Structure 1
Amino acid sequence: MTYRLKFRGCIGLLLVSLCAVGLIQPEPHPFENEIRAFEKADSASPPLKNPIVFTGSSSIRLWENVNDYFPGKPVLPRGFGGSQLTDVLYYADRAIVAYHPKQVVLYAGENDVAAGKTGQETYERFVALFEHVRQKLPTVSFAFIALKPSPSRRKFFPEMDVANRLIKDYLAKQKNTDFIDIRPVMLGKNGQPVGILFKADSLHMLPEGYNRWAGVVRPYLK
């Protein structure tokens, strides 16, 4: 047993040493390629100054032609699909702060709950992200889009409700923030998600879903 532990320890040290001298490249953080693609696009065509950065998970990434929904607003889409709040925090300096935005519009947290995090934990992740952004950009306007009622994630609705409530209450105590509740326009009279707003996976939205979102989000944009 002692021999095995020593052997494993030697292998571990060898791998660390090889990484240090560049012979083995460590696995990049998830979504690194997407962030680099943003940076490459910025180099080729610099974005407008002080934009409204839309960031977060696939509900932002898959919002096609998002600028067309908000004419006259300098919307800059910087969502990366499948991301959790911890991923947005990891890339916050490159995907948010680097643009010196006048406003941040965030949709993230649904994947956190689906991955097993409680509403409380999801809220705590959000606070960590919010505080990081506000530390770097003290006066930036910050809007959070409520976690949506995706039919495929019904079993997570209770925890999502907890996360939404905690985040809403938290933002109500902060300056220059908004909680954008898109849930009412996504629910039918029976209180259930409107199925025609979603793709076949019952998770990602069709254009009609985004049309409804846009009607709710538009008045909050700076």
Structure 2
Amino acid sequence: MKFAGCVILLLSSLTAFSQAQSQSVKPPFESEILAFEQADRTSPPPQHPIVFTGSSSIRFWTDLSRYFPDKTILNRGFGGSQLSDVLRYVDRVILPYQPKQIVLYAGENDIASGKQSAQQTYERFVSLFNYVRKKLPNVPFTFIAIKPSPSRRQYFGEVDEANRLISRFLARQRNTDFVDIRPVMLKANGQPEGDLFRSDSLHMTEKGYQRWAKVLKPYLK
């Protein structure tokens, strides 16, 4: 009986430990989203901004307002997020701001994970778009094409196909834009310009963002 009691006690302890562990594990990027919410409480965001969101190419564009001084912009890019992460947090990083326009850069990390094909990445995008469009039916939706990062050269084929699928889909939707920034990032031989990227050949330099801004500016509302 003593042995059986010890076993029961041990199993109970293990169950409690497992439950505590599971409760302490946060979803990816939860800390960043909480930081956004804390920032909003400390300093209320502008009303009806153009919300930029997506992965680190947006997160690192920290001086967005300097590039578009005549626009009211809110940057809500986070981590190395994938489209599935943007969908997970859409109710917290897009919808609460009642945006005038949504500008999204995402999909690159989905493909570079090696787990998502162009088709799967496209399907993730459609799921996100449909959810946003249901909640915000009249808000312009702008997608920035997935860029050709030199460090991810092996995925260029999938990137091109994902861009093609997303572009074709958006062309059939109202109040949407597919902004193709790739032409201004490529040399005459079709290869990406190295000085548009940081030493990691993934994230962009100021020169890279300047190229993006020139292409993107006519699309901002």
Could you tell me how far apart the structure 1 residues matched to 2:132 and 2:144 are?
Answer: 16
Check conservation: 1:59, 1:81, Cα contact below 8 A: no
One-letter amino acid of the structure 1 residue matched with residue 38 of structure 2? K
Q: Which residue of 1 aligns with 2:81?
A: 83
Is 1:193 aligned with 2:192?
Answer: yes
Gaps of 5+ in 2: 1-7
Could you tell me how far apart the structure 1 residues matched to 2:45 and 2:193 are?
Answer: 36
TM-score by length of 2: 0.91
Structure 1 residue 18: deviation in Å? 3.9
Aligned length: 211
Question: What are the within-5 Å matches in structure 2 for residues 38-187 of structure 1?
Answer: 38-116=36-114, 117-187=116-186
One-letter amino acid of the structure 2 residue matched with residue 75 of structure 1? I
Seen in structure 2, the aligned counterparts of structure 1 residues 17 and 173 have a Cα distance that, compared at 3 Å, is same
Check conservation: 1:113, 1:122, Cα contact below 8 A: yes
SS in 2 for 1:25: helix
TM-score by length of 1: 0.91
Seen in structure 2, the aligned counterparts of structure 1 residues 11 and 182 have a Cα distance that, compared at 3 Å, is farther
Seen in structure 2, the aligned counterparts of structure 1 residues 25 and 196 have a Cα distance that, compared at 3 Å, is same
Check conservation: 1:67, 1:74, Cα contact below 8 A: yes
Q: Which residue of 1 aligns with 2:29?
A: 31
Could you tell me how far apart the structure 2 residues matched to 1:15 and 1:175 are?
Answer: 52
Q: Which runs of 4+ in 1 moved over 2 A?
A: 10-19, 23-26
Could you tell me how far apart the structure 1 residues matched to 2:110 and 2:13 are?
Answer: 31
Name the % identity: 63
Check conservation: 2:197, 2:208, Cα contact below 8 A: yes
Structure 1 residue 12: deviation in Å? 11
Could you tell me how far apart the structure 2 residues matched to 1:195 and 1:139 are?
Answer: 39
Could you tell me how far apart the structure 1 residues matched to 2:107 and 2:184 are?
Answer: 19
One-letter amino acid of the structure 2 residue matched with residue 63 of structure 1? W
Structure 1 residue 11: deviation in Å? 7.5
Larger Rg: 2
Structure 1 residue 14: deviation in Å? 2.2
One-letter amino acid of the structure 2 residue matched with residue 162 of structure 1? E
Structure 1 residue 26: deviation in Å? 3.3
Structure 1 residue 28: deviation in Å? 0.6
Check conservation: 2:118, 2:161, Cα contact below 8 A: yes
Q: Which residue of 2 aligns with 1:14?
A: 15
SS in 1 for 2:52: strand
What are the superposed Cα offsets for residues 182-205 of structure 1, whole Å, 9 maximum, x if unpaired?
000000111100001000000000
Gaps of 5+ in 1: 1-6
Is 1:206 aligned with 2:194?
Answer: no
SS in 2 for 1:50: coil
Q: Which residue of 2 aligns with 1:4?
A: none
Seen in structure 2, the aligned counterparts of structure 1 residues 179 and 26 have a Cα distance that, compared at 3 Å, is same
What are the superposed Cα offsets for residues 144-182 of structure 1, whole Å, 9 maximum, x if unpaired?
000000000010000001100000000001110000000
